[in-house]
Amino acid sequence: MTRLALSIIMYSLCLFICMSVAAGQSQQPQLNERAKIGLVLSGGGAKGAAHVGVLKVLEAHNIAVDYIAGTSIGAYVGAMYALGYSADDIETIMLQGAWDTGYSDSIPREHLSYRDKQLRDRYNIPINIGISEGKIKIPKGLIHGQSVSQLLYYSTDRVKQFDSFDDLAIGFRAVATNLATNEAVILDKGSIVKAIQASAAVPGALQPIVINNQLLVDGGIANNLPVDVVKAMGADIVIAVDIGSPLVSTDKLNSTVAVLEQLSTMLTQASTAKQKKLLNDSDILLRPDIDELSTTDFSIMAQALALGEQAAQEQLGQLTKLSLNEGQYQYYVNNKKQKRALWLTSVGKPIYKVEVQGASAVNEQLIKQRLNIKDGQIVNKEELDAAIMRVYALNQFERVEAEFIDTPQGRKLVVAPKPKSWGPNYFYAGFNWEDDFNFDSAVSLNLAYTMSDITADGAQWRNELEFGFQKRLSTELYQPLDINKRFYGIANFQYERQRWDFLALNSLDYDLKHRSSSLLFGLGFNYSHYTIFEAGLIGERGSVANSFLFNDDVDYKTLGGYFKIAHDTLNSISFATRGNRFSLTTYYRDETYETSTLDLALKLNNTREKTWQINADWKGAFSIGNNTILGKVEMSTVESDAGLSVHFSQLGGFLNLSGFRKNELVGAHKLFGAVIYQHNLGHKMPLSNMPVYLGLSLEAGNVWYKQKDIDLNDLIYSSNLYLGTDTLLGPAGLGFGYTDSGESALYFFIGTRF
């Protein structure tokens, strides 16, 4: 090839490249020349879905958003959009989210340890009261924020902490209020989840969030419509969406709650009015017609979203002046995707280290064991959510926070459990009432005081008092024996008084009074979070009295051992819809009886009995949709040389051979079984989140005093039709039971285990 030909080719190639570059530059939108748009999203609780409706209209008309500032629910929607989610993405996440659970930090029963399940079943009144340093303590908010934070973690995925919220796909700011100074605090970096939580922490309802040593609460108090914030970020034109609540009329101010809500509305309206004055003629204010909607009923979100769309559509004339052409808008969208990819890429990277901060009395190794996240593991958001719940289910924290930090070494997961601020010593209360409208009500009140972490290994000392249907006083020391709390020792002293008004011995009615004191020492093994093995020694001294059968008390004392295995994954102790509960306990006793009643003294005095007692029970449930099938089986027996024992079993009451009054049948041997069909009517009612159960049971069982009298032909059959629900005080409802032998009873119950 000649030098001339080569020169011509090189010249042509350079010319082609230059022309291509010039053409590309001419096609690239000149976005720097357009006005920058800032979006302001106010607080308003469940009505915040209206913000998503506005976003859908903005996207449909190619309106680019360059800056976002939000308060409370507006901070949530704004943060999601700033992270790069589309309006459709946010709609799906919001409408499918379990927002109603944000008003409860109660650990689901199935996630609790076996020991904590027993504690909750007995102490069903949800109080959070503790004592330390001689002072009574309560939480700083009715809601601790764990459920809310887990919902936010799940929504935002495994997002890292940011050096600046300007690094998001869209520049973002959240507004909170400094509880100590009432000043607005602009959150512009760090944890996006904590920023949202701080902005939405309603004082008194949700606990304040600590950021940079500041106690932060709902931003609506100081600035509910942060127009000034988005203008300071650089916005030339502001689109402000106001979903704040209006003041209510005098006739609706008829309760303390209504007055407090009115005061809160006054504060937010004052800050909103101040911000609206900053808007000029080029800015756009949208006010969706959501005044009649509730701020706390998240079932209205779909309706609020539609009203947000409607409000934006009504001002399309102004909004479309901000629309970009297709090429410009696509360039804007691609730019957002590129920024989103910068942080989204790290989400799929493996974790090189799990770090636990502030574990205090709870062993760091135990927390890591509960997390079950290994170095080098890639964690998805479902796995992270489950891991956080496993730590929270230890029932020793008011909140468990988790953040990802990207370091030069790789991605680090930092888990920070926050100890209960009202601990480490706690009060508990329980209440149970069952009435069959025929005989005495079975009412009991339970109180307990637990001192926790009294040793470095996390020992607990619990003192309990029970009044009413039966009376009980007990004190118990529970001592973990290893660093992972798998093994434990237990010592328990208990004094108990019972009155048995029962039918036995050819249907004669007996009033038997039983008093006993017992001392137990045991060793246990937590095979899993839900299963225990326990064995030990137990001694008991007591008396049995009945004026009809004998003139004086029958005194007894026993010494022996026991073995127990128990497993529990039920999601509810009463209206279970899934899980299983099983326990098997055996006792071997050496028993001695004495009495001054002449005819009994010849038989009983200095009589020593070797007895075996076996108690076993199972309860299980499974569901298909809103239909549940439950099964129950209970069996007890006592084998002794002379057929003598004071360790009776009881039967009778709601779903325990319905038709009889509570514990009406008493004997040394018991057999009972039931199949229960249960349908949840709650989904058909306005309060769709509240379960309302309609149930029907088929039951069979009986008790026998002597082993030789056991005969399956003696089984009593019964049925029960009931309507009930789970309340803050436990199960409650009405039922009607009827037996094949003619007994019947109408039951009212609340807080009752059955």
Amino acid letter for position 568 = D
pLDDT at position 8 is: 40
Measured distance CA(692)–CA(399) in Å, rounded: 30
Instruction: Give the SS3 label for residue 84.
Output: coil
Q: Among the listed ranges 54-58, 105-109, 630-634, which one has the minimum average pLDDT value?
A: 105-109
Long-range Cβ contacts of 164-168 (<8 Å, 24+ apart): 164/188, 164/189, 165/82, 165/189, 165/192, 165/195, 167/339, 167/342, 167/343, 168/82, 168/83, 168/84, 168/339, 168/340, 168/343
Instruction: Give the SS3 label for residue 591.
Output: strand
Measured distance CA(552)–CA(428) in Å, rounded: 38
The larger pLDDT score, comparing residue 100 to residue 558, is at 558
Of the chain, the percentage scoring pLDDT greater than 90 comes to: 52
Measured distance CA(682)–CA(100) in Å, rounded: 15
Measured distance CA(69)–CA(226) in Å, rounded: 6
Q: What is the mean pLDDT of residues 104-113?
A: 89
Residue 238 has pLDDT above 80, yes or no: yes
- What are the backbone angles phi and psi of residue 460, rounded to the nearest 5°? -125, 140
pLDDT at position 258 is: 61
Q: Which helix (H) or strand (E) holds 59?
A: helix 49-60
Read off the pLDDT band of 29 (50, 70, 90): very low
Q: What is the mean pLDDT of residues 81-99?
A: 90
Q: Is residue 304 a contact partner of residue 47, using CB atoms and an 8 Å limit?
A: yes
Q: What is the mean pLDDT of the chain?
A: 85
Q: What is the mean pLDDT of residues 67-92?
A: 95
Is the peptide bond preceding residue 408 cis, with omega within 30 degrees of 0?
Answer: no
Measured distance CA(123)–CA(120) in Å, rounded: 5
Measured distance CA(170)–CA(30) in Å, rounded: 18
pLDDT at position 207 is: 85
Residue 597 has pLDDT above 70, yes or no: no
Q: What is the mean pLDDT of residues 32-55?
A: 90
Q: Is residue 608 a contact partner of residue 641, using CB atoms and an 8 Å limit?
A: no
Read off the pLDDT band of 754 (50, 70, 90): low
Amino acid letter for position 622 = F
- What are the backbone angles phi and psi of residue 749, rounded to the nearest 5°? -145, 150
pLDDT at position 323 is: 94
pLDDT digits (tens, 9 = 90+) for 430-476: 988 888 777 667 788 999 999 998 888 889 999 999 988 789 999 99
pLDDT at position 260 is: 62
Residue 689 has pLDDT above 50, yes or no: yes
pLDDT digits (tens, 9 = 90+) for 141-164: 777 878 888 888 888 888 888 999
Question: What is Dmax (Cα atoms) for the chain?
Answer: 138
pLDDT at position 149 is: 85
Read off the pLDDT band of 66 (50, 70, 90): very high
Q: Among the listed ranges 280-289, 413-422, 441-450, 590-599, which one has the minimum average pLDDT value?
A: 590-599
E strands, 287-374, where?
A: 351-356
Q: Among the listed ranges 440-444, 498-502, 697-701, which one has the minimum average pLDDT value?
A: 498-502
Q: Is residue 542 a contact partner of residue 646, using CB atoms and an 8 Å limit?
A: yes
DSSP 213: T
pLDDT digits (tens, 9 = 90+) for 638-654: 987 666 677 888 899 89
Of the chain, the percentage scoring pLDDT greater than 70 comes to: 86
pLDDT at position 266 is: 73
Q: Which helix (H) or strand (E) holds 121?
A: helix 114-122
Q: Which of 245-249, 324-328, 724-728 tops mean pLDDT?
A: 324-328
pLDDT at position 361 is: 58
Q: What is the mean pLDDT of residues 368-386?
A: 90
Strand partners, 432: 444
Query: Interhelix angle for 49-60 vs 87-96, to 10°?
Result: 160
Q: What does the block give as tokens for 359?
A: 């574990």
pLDDT at position 16 is: 41
pLDDT at position 33 is: 73
Read off the pLDDT band of 585 (50, 70, 90): very high
pTM surpassing 0.85?
no
- What are the backbone angles phi and psi of residue 156, rounded to the nearest 5°? -85, 0
pLDDT at position 547 is: 57
Residue 753 has pLDDT above 90, yes or no: no
Q: Is residue 157 a contact partner of residue 219, using CB atoms and an 8 Å limit?
A: no
Read off the pLDDT band of 267 (50, 70, 90): confident
Residue 192 has pLDDT above 90, yes or no: yes
pLDDT at position 593 is: 80
Measured distance CA(453)–CA(355) in Å, rounded: 23
Q: Among the listed ranges 17-21, 95-99, 382-386, 471-475, which one has the minimum average pLDDT value?
A: 17-21
Q: What is the mean pLDDT of residues 233-241?
A: 95
Amino acid letter for position 96 = Q
pLDDT at position 534 is: 98
pLDDT digits (tens, 9 = 90+) for 517-547: 999 999 999 999 999 999 999 999 998 886 5
Q: Is residue 307 a contact partner of residue 53, using CB atoms and an 8 Å limit?
A: yes
pLDDT digits (tens, 9 = 90+) for 292-322: 888 778 888 999 999 999 999 999 999 999 9
Measured distance CA(402)–CA(150) in Å, rounded: 9
The larger pLDDT score, comparing residue 125 to residue 620, is at 620
The larger pLDDT score, comparing residue 353 to residue 730, is at 353
pLDDT at position 26 is: 37
Q: What does the block give as tokens for 665?
A: 């049948």
Residue 670 has pLDDT above 60, yes or no: yes
Q: Among the listed ranges 70-79, 116-125, 538-547, which one has the minimum average pLDDT value?
A: 538-547
Q: Is residue 605 a contact partner of residue 593, using CB atoms and an 8 Å limit?
A: yes
pLDDT at position 639 is: 86
Measured distance CA(507)–CA(504) in Å, rounded: 5
pLDDT at position 17 is: 40
Task: For Cα atoms 118, 122, 126, give the angle at the middle one, nearest 5 degrees.
Answer: 105
pLDDT digits (tens, 9 = 90+) for 346-366: 787 889 899 998 766 567 888
pLDDT at position 1 is: 46
- β-pairing, 397-407 vs 410-419, is antiparallel
Strand partners, 209: 216
